[in-house]
Amino acid sequence: MAHATNDVQAVQLAAGMGLVALTDTLVLGTAAIGFMLYINPSLTLVALLPMPFIALFARTISKIFYERFQKVQASFSELTERARENLAGIRTIKAYTQETAETNRFDQTGRNYIAENLRMVKISGLFSPMSLIFTNLSMALVLVIGGKLTILNTITVGDFVAFNSYLLLLTWPMMALGWMINLFQRGSASLGRIQEILNTTSEAAEIVETPKKSLTRGDIESRSLTFTYPGSNLPALEDIHLRIKPGQLVGIVGRTGAGKSTLCQLLPRLYNTPIGQLYMEGEDIHYWPLDELRRAIAVVPQDPFIFADTVRANICFGNPDASTDEMIKAAEAAHLLDEILALPQQFDTILGERGVTLSGGQKQRLTLARALMLSTPLLILDDCFSSVDLETELAILANLKRYLKARTTLIASHRLEAMRTADVIFVLEGGRLREQGSHDQLLAQEGIYAALYRRQKLEAELYEKEVIGKG
């Protein structure tokens, strides 16, 4: 937030008022020095003797000020982030009775911000008095030497008075120099912080050699796909060979950390893969224009994001021109229609910030409805039913079978019971593809999938007995 507020404002002031003041200073300073030279060049050199010291002092001060202003802006960023975090996590803070601790942390962050500001002000406050000292020294030299020249009739009294008037005219540019250095150093430091963001490159670079037709089928193939996250030494996926046909409902299952989400993130190229390892419609994904590739994929992430807008605006976010009938069908397929109709203003109900008025399951189903509004050949559901009960998840998957028809659908999930309806299931373990087949085929293999399925089934039965026993 600091980049969008304080930093932008600092650059704006430097580029606006700073340039105006600089122009004013140059015009006045040049005119004053020109008239002084016209009256008496020797006396002008005497008057300008302190100027090199002002320049040297200004250069030293500006470097220190630049560094301290950067620290002030970094401290302000920390302060705004702390405030945003506390507001967003207010429920968690209250639930863990950490109000006092968080108040103290925020207070300490505020004190750090004040301390950094004071360190900066101590430097910026030095320039004006130092400039005044050097300016007064210049005037004293002129009074002494100029007075002597006047007594000796080297210059007239009128020229001496005029010279002092022009020297006073030069005083404003000298005093303004400190303010301008302050302003430009603020702008320079802020511009550097803004450019860090503007110069950030996308993780996925375009490699487009020839125009391509639109993605329409949604078939996927990986050939020895291996991927390692930046900064990590261990591959998240290793030697993955798989083929997904158009229109299939595909399950991707495995334990936590098996690589399910990683595979889902590689398809829309949120991360780059080596060339020659991942294909869509027979073409390496690197040779599809990035916009075209992502336009063909609808992703429902693990962590849903809800805008502080109406239900309608959230569902139609990717397709604002959609009809009401299309929106209702998407909500119905996401098993959310009845709950929306029960809201005070139904589809026009305003949701709180990040959907604070919705439950976790409702948020996930709302983002699913949003994805269903896009007519993409590929739909990726990245463990997006973690907050939904099994019965609702099965109902949603049954709806998707009817709703999606020929669209390819990938479902990454830890809940194996929901994989019964999948055409093919890929089982990941430690970043490797260990098994593949239908639900019944994998159970018959008595491998990883069968063991996970039996374990989940046993856990569900034990939970039911415990609940019934308590009841």
Domain with 110, as residue range(s), is 3-198
Q: Is the pLDDT of residue 147 over 70?
A: yes
Q: Is the pLDDT of residue 315 over 70?
A: yes
Tell me, yes or no, whether 215 lies in a domain. Answer: no
130 and 267 in a common domain: no
Tell me, yes or no, whether 207 lies in a domain. Answer: no
Tell me, yes or no, whether 208 lies in a domain. Answer: no
400 and 319 in a common domain: yes
Which CATH number fits the domain that encloses residue 12? 1.20.1560.10
Domain end position, chosen among 166, 198, 230: 198
56 and 128 in a common domain: yes
265 and 144 in a common domain: no
Q: Per mean pLDDT, which of 28-32, 91-95, 104-108 is the most reliable?
A: 104-108
Q: State the average pLDDT for the chain.
A: 78
Which CATH number fits the domain that encloses residue 326? 3.40.50.300
For the segment 435-462, the average pLDDT, to the nearest whole number, is: 81
Which pair of structure tokens corresponds to residue 309? 């807008």
CB atoms within 10 A of CB 95: 9
Q: Report the distance separating Cα 377 and Cα 393, nearest Å.
A: 22
Q: Is the pLDDT of residue 378 over 70?
A: yes
For the segment 436-461, the average pLDDT, to the nearest whole number, is: 81
- Helix, coil or strand: residue 188: helix
What band does 9 get if pLDDT is binned at 50, 70 and 90? low
Length of the chain: 471
Following DSSP, what letter does each residue of 347-395 receive, concatenated?
A: GGPBP-GGGTTS-HHHHHHHHHHHHHTS--SEEEEESTTTTS-HHHHHH
334 and 298 in a common domain: yes
Tell me, yes or no, whether 224 lies in a domain. Answer: yes
What's the pTM? 0.64
122 and 185 in a common domain: yes
Q: Is the pLDDT of residue 349 over 60?
A: yes
pLDDT > 70 fraction of the chain, expressed in percent and rounded: 82
95 and 65 in a common domain: yes
Q: Is the pLDDT of residue 4 over 70?
A: no
pLDDT at 74: 82
Domain end position, chosen among 142, 167, 198: 198
pLDDT at 310: 83
Tell me, yes or no, whether 211 lies in a domain. Answer: no
Closest CA to 184 of 324, 10, 380, 404: 10
More confident of the two residues 326 and 388: 326
186 and 93 in a common domain: yes
Q: Report the distance separating Cα 429 and Cα 7, nearest Å.
A: 47
For the segment 98-114, the average pLDDT, to the nearest whole number, is: 87
Structural domains in the chain (count): 2
Q: Is the pLDDT of residue 463 over 70?
A: no
442 and 326 in a common domain: yes
pLDDT > 90 fraction of the chain, expressed in percent and rounded: 0
Tell me, yes or no, whether 214 lies in a domain. Answer: no
For the segment 172-198, the average pLDDT, to the nearest whole number, is: 69
- Location of structure tokens 């309806």: 421
Q: Per mean pLDDT, which of 55-69, 132-146, 437-451 is the most reliable?
A: 437-451
Tell me, yes or no, whether 205 lies in a domain. Answer: no
Q: Is the pLDDT of residue 111 over 80?
A: yes
Region class of 282: left (phi > 0), else alpha (psi between -120 and 50), else beta: left
What band does 150 get if pLDDT is binned at 50, 70 and 90? confident
237 and 120 in a common domain: no
What band does 3 get if pLDDT is binned at 50, 70 and 90? low
pLDDT at 178: 63
Question: What pLDDT, in 10s, does the model give residues 318-346?
Answer: 788 888 888 888 888 887 888 888 888 88
- Helix, coil or strand: residue 223: strand
380 and 242 in a common domain: yes
332 and 186 in a common domain: no
37-41, 104-108, 199-203, 408-412: segment of lowest average pLDDT: 199-203
Do residues 292 and 214 lie in contact, with contact meaning Cβ atoms separated by under 8 Å? yes
CB atoms within 10 A of CB 208: 12
Question: What pLDDT, in 10s, does the model give residues 400-410?
Answer: 777 777 788 88
